């Protein structure tokens, strides 16, 4: 596998080795030994799957207690995946990085704890799966506004186009008012 370091060094893009032939392809999406050899020692306890239509934007979510690291990948379709550093003591606090993950590029994003996560579906039907290092705890979940001007995330939307967001995500806080990690 190939590890791509983003502008935020703790946030990684993983390109797995894909074996293709006339029947299709095969790839390993998680191998504890391979990840450990690469210095990525993670223990996952929960797997999630979501399906989204084009222009659905989910996030930016995080858990202030019981924080979750995530390994995100797309099974069908494509997303623009974004992570925001919410670790106050980090030199990259308040910065974001994004990457396209798709069924054709097979890339995965490895998001450490202390980050908010969100994505925009770029296809008519997108299914993604992600592994988490801690269990979902709704009482600790927080949301940052997807369009916070302080973050200025460059979501790949056409000029004037608005994403489809849940009522919860529409009520997200700005970074300046958000609960963040020490």
pTM for this model (two decimals)? 0.94
Three-state DSSP at 171 gives coil
Task: Give, as one character, the DSSP assignment of residue 152.
Answer: -
pLDDT per residue as tens digits for the range 127-177 = 999 999 999 999 999 999 999 999 999 999 989 899 999 999 999 999 999
CA angle 164, 180, 154 (to 5 degrees): 40
CA distances from 38 to 28, 29, 35 (A): 15, 14, 5
Residue 73: both structure tokens together:
């990948």
Catalytic residue among 62, 80, 117, 130: 130
Domain boundaries, the chain: 2-177
Query: 19 pairs with which residues across the strands?
Result: 26
Asked if CATH classification 2.60.120.10 holds for the domain at 2-177, the reply, yes or no, is yes
Under 8 Å between Cβ of 118 and 82? yes
Q: Residue 118 in contact with residue 148, Cβ under 8 Å?
A: no
Q: 136 catalytic, yes or no? A: no
CA dist 162 → 54, 56, 65, 180 (Å): 11, 9, 31, 27
Beta bridge partners of 110: 12, 71
pLDDT digits (tens, 9 = 90+) for 49-86: 999 999 999 999 999 999 999 999 999 999 999 999 99
82-139 per-position pLDDT tens digit: 999 999 999 999 999 999 999 999 999 999 999 999 999 999 999 999 999 999 999 9
Question: How far is the C-alpha of 115 from the C-alpha of 74, rounded, in Å?
Answer: 19
List helix spans (H) across the chain.
32-37, 167-170
Catalytically annotated residue among 61, 80, 136, 140: 61
pLDDT at position 32, please? 93
Check if 106 is active-site: no
């Amino acid at each position: 596998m190939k590890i791509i370091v983003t502008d935020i060094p703790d946030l990684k893009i993983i390109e797995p080795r894909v074996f293709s032939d006339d029947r299709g392809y095969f790839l390993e999406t998680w191998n504890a030994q391979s990840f450990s050899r690469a210095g990525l020692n993670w223990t996952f306890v929960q797997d999630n799957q979501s399906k989204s239509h084009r222009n659905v934007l989910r996030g930016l979510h995080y858990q202030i207690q019981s924080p979750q690291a995530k390994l995100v990948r797309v099974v069908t379709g494509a997303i623009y995946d974004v992570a925001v550093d919410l670790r106050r003591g980090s030199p990259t606090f308040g910065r974001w990085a994004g990457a396209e993950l798709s069924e054709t590029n097979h890339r995965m994003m490895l998001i450490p704890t202390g980050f908010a996560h969100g994505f925009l579906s770029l296809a008519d039907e997108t299914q993604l799966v992600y592994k988490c290092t801690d269990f979902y705890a709704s009482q600790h979940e927080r949301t940052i506004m997807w369009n916070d001007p302080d973050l200025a995330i460059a979501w790949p939307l056409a000029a004037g186009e608005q994403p489809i967001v849940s009522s919860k995500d529409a009520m997200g806080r700005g970074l300046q008012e958000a609960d963040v990690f020490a």
